[in-house]
């Protein structure tokens, strides 16, 4: 089977965890231990989040007195692809030293007029109490929104339209190389009137980019791995219940938050709706990736 895996930002850095390199390397080591067995029997493409990491780099850039202007988010996104891609390469290589892995910096085309530019939804950086978040927003010109019971900076997150380096991914898979790509959704770019590509101030949702890649590659599975075991009905209420086997039309009837579970559900629905017979997607715990492939655990989505 061909499997596209989207590795949640929470897998790389748990909520509230200090973003030290050691902590992230350890989290990625645990993730690699779970993902490596999938590569024994399947073609695997790994995408990953970058919300916490791109926020750290943005803070550093803003605090650098030598700069007249902070680095833009396209540049910061490329830095996180290099950094996290390197960590994943090393961790996966340590689990399976006889396999070849490649991590690519890739650009993802977005529409310059995407409504996501006017309504930022992508959470980046750390979590704050509301008062502190509002004070930081005033000081730095950020926009902030509620993320669960805390507050966080948000940036624009336009929909991914095309993976510019898509053919490179095809070639690597043809050579039986396991590919890490679309980290942080890919570096967001638009096409100018002259046909050139130009980076834009945004962070793309990696689950939506993973769905785009999975569709392009005619993948058999899209696995969205995060820190919850299922999509829940009535999430956060006394009567929350895990959704096990389901369909896109049921999932699309739910009202889910745009900065967290919303894009994951959107991604799996897009993938399953576009797929042929036998295609399925799952949302669930990173630690249960292998059981998600055949729907033994997690929220398993097949066509209506
Ligand atoms: N209906 C729901 N079912 C399960 N989790 C939900 C739901 N709605 C919101 N969430 C939240 O979505 C979070 C996962 O999304 P997110 O934090 O963006 O993950 P990641 O960083 O792993 O990509 C969960 O930790 C949970 O708090
Ligand atoms: N870019 C992105 O989707 O990052 P997170 O998974 O950390 O939100």
pLDDT in tens, 283-302: 999 999 999 999 999 999 99
Cite the active site residues: 9-10, 122, 206, 264
Specify the higher pLDDT residue, 201 or 260.
201
Mean pLDDT of 249-262: 92
The finding on whether 51 has its CB within 6 A of some atom of ligand 2 is yes
Helices 51-63, 73-95: crossing angle, 10 deg rounding: 130
- The ipTM, to two decimals, is 0.98
The DSSP string of 237-259 is: STT-EE--EE-HHHHHTS---TT
224 pLDDT exceeds 80?
yes
Q: How confident is the model at residue 258 (pLDDT cuts 50, 70, 90)?
A: confident
The two tokens of residue 129 are 């109490």
CA 2 – CA 88 distance, rounded (Å): 19
Give the pocket of ligand 1 (CB within 6 Å).
8-10, 49, 148, 226-228, 231-232, 235, 256-257, 260-261
Task: Say which DSSP state 72 is in.
Answer: P
193 pLDDT exceeds 80?
yes
Q: What's the whole-number average pLDDT of the chain?
A: 95
Query: Hey, how many other C-beta atoms are within 10 angstroms of the C-beta on 168?
Result: 15
Helices (H), the chain: 9-12, 21-41, 51-63, 73-95, 130-140, 166-174, 206-216, 248-252, 261-274, 289-292
Ligand minimally distant from the alpha carbon of residue 298: 1
Determine which residue's CA is closest to atom 6 belonging to ligand 1. 261
The finding on whether 9 has its CB within 6 A of some atom of ligand 2 is yes
Determine which residue's CA is closest to atom 1 belonging to ligand 2. 184
Least confident of 7-11, 21-25, 230-234: 7-11
Residue 275's pLDDT is: 87
128 pLDDT exceeds 80?
yes
Determine which residue's CA is closest to atom 21 belonging to ligand 1. 9
The fraction of the chain above a pLDDT of 90, given in percent, is 91
The fraction of the chain above a pLDDT of 70, given in percent, is 100
Distance from residue 98's CA to the centre of ligand 2 (Å): 30
Q: Is 241 helix (H, G, I), strand (E, B) or coil?
A: strand
36 pLDDT exceeds 80?
yes
Distance from residue 3's CA to the centre of ligand 2 (Å): 19
Global pTM value: 0.96
Residue 260's pLDDT is: 86
């Amino acid at each position: 089977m061909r499997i596209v895996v989207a590795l949640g930002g929470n897998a790389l850095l748990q909520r509230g965890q200090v973003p030290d390199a050691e902590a992230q390397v350890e989290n990625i080591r645990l993730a690699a231990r779970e993902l490596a067995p999938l590569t024994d029997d399947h073609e695997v493409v790994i995408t990953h989040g970058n919300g916490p990491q791109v926020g750290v780099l943005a803070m550093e850039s803003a605090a650098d007195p030598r700069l007249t202007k902070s680095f833009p988010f396209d540049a910061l996104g490329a830095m996180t692809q290099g950094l996290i891609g390197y960590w994943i390469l090393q961790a996966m290589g340590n689990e399976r030293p006889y396999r070849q892995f490649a991590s690519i910096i890739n650009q993802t085309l977005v529409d310059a007029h995407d409504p996501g530019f006017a309504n930022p939804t992508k959470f980046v950086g750390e979590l704050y109490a509301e008062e502190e978040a509002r004070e930081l927003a005033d000081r730095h010109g950020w926009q902030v929104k509620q993320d669960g019971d805390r507050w966080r900076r948000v940036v624009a997150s336009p929909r991914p339209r095309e993976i510019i380096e898509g053919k490179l991914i095809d070639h690597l898979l043809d050579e039986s190389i396991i590919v890490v790509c679309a980290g942080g959704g890919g570096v967001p770019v638009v096409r100018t009137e002259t046909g050139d590509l130009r980076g834009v101030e945004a962070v793309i949702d990696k689950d939506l980019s993973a769905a785009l890649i999975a569709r392009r590659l005619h993948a058999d599975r899209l696995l969205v791995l995060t820190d919850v075991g299922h999509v829940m009905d009535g999430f956060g209420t006394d009567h929350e219940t895990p959704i096990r086997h389901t369909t896109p039309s049921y999932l699309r009837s739910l009202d889910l938050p745009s900065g967290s579970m919303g894009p994951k559900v959107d991604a799996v629905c897009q993938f399953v709706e576009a797929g042929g017979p036998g295609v399925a997607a799952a949302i669930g715990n990173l630690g249960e990736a292998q059981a998600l492939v055949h729907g033994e655990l997690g929220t398993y989505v097949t066509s209506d």
